[in-house]
Structure 1
Amino acid sequence: MKLNIGTLSHEEKQYYDAVWRMNSFSGLLGQQDIHYINHMEREPRRISVAKTAVSDLVRELPRDMSVGLVTARTCPRADVRGFFDMGFRNALLGQIQGLQPEGGTPLADAISRAGDMLDGRGRESTILVVTDGVESCNGDPCAVARRLAATKPHLKINVVDIGSSGGGTCLATATGGQVFTANSVSSLKLGIDRATQNVQVPAHCR
């Protein structure tokens, strides 16, 4: 899931973007990995906690900010769902709560689409990635991050790394962002909160 948050003014529009990984882990797993995944799949599951954390973030936004939603749930491409102003905030929350994992995660495409929607040249922009590090649609998220860093020097990517996989570290490294690890459902919510603390909003919204 990717969230774009900005003011309704086109000239002053600034965005906060979140790309949210929701599919299952893949690859070779040891007993310790399986124990961790089983723990994270118990209620409240990581997907439930992440939806709650993102919904709380949306509720705390200034009233004159519009919110865009893009989902990254199945190959080959992320799905742009459009923008929601304050009058449609409840509809946005309903879509967030209804999200479920599907047949893959086009993480690279979601990051690319997030980058295309952001300025990143004349003003600061941020993408938040919540991930276990697995791109499942044959994309290269690290290459996308390097391209964005080269073309949009004021865009950064913050990563909430589920399970300390290290797979999303290159996204933050390439763009000057930060990595926050999440090894439990409680630390997942904390990581999302910490990763969004320094997101810039227009001065009149503060």
Structure 2
Amino acid sequence: MKRLSFILLSILLVILSACGNDSKNANTDASEKKKKESKSTEAVVGDLDKINLEVSLDSLKSQPAGTLMEHLTFEEDVKEVNHQAPELDPELKKVLPEKLKALTDSTKDLEELKKSLLKLLASPHYKEVIEKAERYEPPFEEPYLPDPTKSTDGKKTESPQKAIILLDASSSMLLNSGGRMKMDIAKDAVKSFAQTIGQSSDVSLVVYGHKGSEADSDKELSCKGMEEVYPMGKYVKEDFHKAVDSFESKGWTPLAGAIQKASEMSSNYDKGTTIYVVSDGAETCDGDPVQASKQLAKNGKNTVNIIGFDVDAKTENQLKDVAAAGNGKYFSANNPEELKNTIQYEWLPSTMDLTWAFTMAPIGFEVSNEFKNAEEFPRKLWYISRRELFRLDDAFSIMKEKKMLTDKQLEKLENWRMDRHDELLELSREMEEINRNKTKAQADEISKKIEDWVEKMKKLKEERGDKW
């Protein structure tokens, strides 16, 4: 009997121990679950100080990316979206209900709900798109308006009907001047020069020194590498700029060969031709540029003008002799500003046809087309805000379906969403207007400069006895 009692007691102790362990395990599991839920809730509703419900450029730029939106690329976020809501991302669709449940379980405070929804779903690209919109500047080029009253000798220069620009692209143009590569400086200057002289002359651009390299093995290739990259004809801005940007500095300096090429070209023209040379170096291809220049100018109608750009004394002496042999002028430019001023005030014709001066200003369709660029990033601001608002709609639908909030609470959130929608639309329109005004203001300013210049030239011509 005692033995039976002992066995029963042992069995009872085992059962009680098992129950205790089960209870302990259950308590542990419940505690762990509670910790996880608490952590999840904290991740949704915690750290809301950085979330600003105000709709302004500053608040949007400082808006943290939604924790569920970090995967969203800029390209995807700025795609055009109008009234049709895009499909909710499958991954977001999978995790959003759980996050919303944690949120609504932890708070029913309206302000906390709004901030927490933005913490989850706000676009990560407000700062980038707004800063790009703010950096917009119209790209219209400032016209070069030559003023003969600033010329060093005060003489008028008749505009040539044919103009050949010879541009040195030898390896020395890879050096820096004033913090920029000399080739880039020269290209910018030539673009501006051609824009103005092209109003009254046919233009050609010949480049030399852009073939091969400065190595001895490439000398023959480089010295024979003269190329007319813009054929003689009417100036067309887009085509001329494309021609100027089509080559880089590389090799030797066949100055004589380039002048000879210009001489061959001009022999086919009925009237005189003016050659404009921009160079930073002397002849290195064993040619005789002085003789070549003399040969070009022997008909009495052609001239060779040269700008020596940041050259040494020996080179300058050779270039002066070349210009003199070509019945032209030599000008020295020791830095980028001098190069610009020399081209602007010495080479450009002072008696160009003022009737066509207005074509240097941005005209109607150019301004209208530029409006599209001005509006690009303000419009993208609207697109990313629309996507964000549609995500909020999806969140409201989930909360309504799962009865996470009352109808009245949801109505208040939806009213906030509509107000935010209107404020973001107004903000994007304000940015569009600011950028359109920038475009119009610059176009008007350029037009006014040209009008004032034309009037000044008319008066000057009248003072000198020229008929307008």
TM-score by length of 1: 0.71
1:160 to 294, 302, 307: 307
- What is the alpha-carbon root mean square deviation over aligned residues? 3.4
Q: Does 1:179 align with 2:330?
A: yes
Paired AA for residue 188 in structure 1: L
Paired AA for residue 138 in structure 1: D
Within a 5 Å distance, the mapping from 1:125-136 to structure 2 comes to 125-136=273-284
Instruction: Look up the SS of the partner of 2:249 in the other structure.
Output: coil
For the structure 1 residues 64 and 178, does the alpha-carbon distance in structure 2 shift closer, same or farther, using more than 3 Å as the test? closer
More strand by share: 1
Paired AA for residue 107 in structure 1: L
TM-score by length of 2: 0.34
Q: Flag structure 1 segments of 5+ consecutive residues without an equivalent.
A: 1-12, 27-36
Instruction: Look up the SS of the partner of 1:60 in the other structure.
Output: helix
Q: What residue is the counterpart of 1:80 in the other structure? A: 228
Q: Does 1:112 align with 2:238?
A: no
Instruction: Look up the SS of the partner of 2:324 in the other structure.
Output: helix
Within a 5 Å distance, the mapping from 1:66-105 to structure 2 comes to 66-73=202-209, 74=211, 75-77=222-224, 78-83=226-231, 89-105=237-253
- State how far apart, in whole Å, the 2-side matches of 1:155 and 1:199 are: 18
Q: Is the 8 A contact 2:185 2:336 kept in 1?
A: yes
Q: CA deviation at 1:111?
A: 0.8
Q: Does 1:59 align with 2:195?
A: yes
Q: Flag structure 2 segments of 5+ consecutive residues without an equivalent.
A: 1-159, 212-221, 358-468
- State how far apart, in whole Å, the 2-side matches of 1:196 and 1:116 are: 23
Instruction: Look up the SS of the partner of 2:180 in the other structure.
Output: coil
Instruction: Look up the SS of the partner of 1:137 in the other structure.
Output: coil
- State how far apart, in whole Å, the 1-side matches of 2:185 and 2:242 are: 15
Q: Is the 8 A contact 1:55 1:96 kept in 2?
A: yes
Q: Is the 8 A contact 2:206 2:230 kept in 1?
A: yes
**Runs of 4+ in structure 1 displaced over 4 angstroms?**
61-66, 84-88, 119-122, 199-206
Q: What residue is the counterpart of 2:183 in the other structure? A: 47
Instruction: Look up the SS of the partner of 1:16 in the other structure.
Output: strand
Query: C-alpha deviations, 1:2-26, integer Å up to 9, x for none?
Result: xxxxxxxxxxx93111212232449
Query: C-alpha deviations, 1:160-183, integer Å up to 9, x for none?
Result: 012352221112111221111011
Query: C-alpha deviations, 1:110-160, integer Å up to 9, x for none?
Result: 11111222259964321111122411222111110122232x211111110
Q: Which has the higher contact order (CA 8 A, sep 6+)?
A: 1
- Between 124-133 and 139-148, the greater mean CA deviation after superposition: 124-133
For the structure 1 residues 68 and 62, does the alpha-carbon distance in structure 2 shift closer, same or farther, using more than 3 Å as the test? closer
More helix by share: 2
For the structure 1 residues 204 and 145, does the alpha-carbon distance in structure 2 shift closer, same or farther, using more than 3 Å as the test? farther
Q: CA deviation at 1:58?
A: 2.8
For the structure 1 residues 67 and 148, does the alpha-carbon distance in structure 2 shift closer, same or farther, using more than 3 Å as the test? closer
Paired AA for residue 184 in structure 1: N
Q: What residue is the counterpart of 2:144 in the other structure? A: none
Q: CA deviation at 1:44?
A: 2.5
Query: C-alpha deviations, 1:35-82, integer Å up to 9, x for none?
Result: xx9661x53332111111111123335568654332212322211335
Q: What residue is the counterpart of 2:125 in the other structure? A: none
Paired AA for residue 205 in structure 2: L
Identity %: 23
For the structure 1 residues 122 and 101, does the alpha-carbon distance in structure 2 shift closer, same or farther, using more than 3 Å as the test? same
Q: Does 1:14 align with 2:150?
A: no
Instruction: Look up the SS of the partner of 1:102 in the other structure.
Output: coil
- Between 177-186 and 155-164, the greater mean CA deviation after superposition: 155-164
Q: Is the 8 A contact 1:128 1:195 kept in 2?
A: no
Q: CA deviation at 1:105?
A: 2.3
For the structure 1 residues 113 and 201, does the alpha-carbon distance in structure 2 shift closer, same or farther, using more than 3 Å as the test? farther
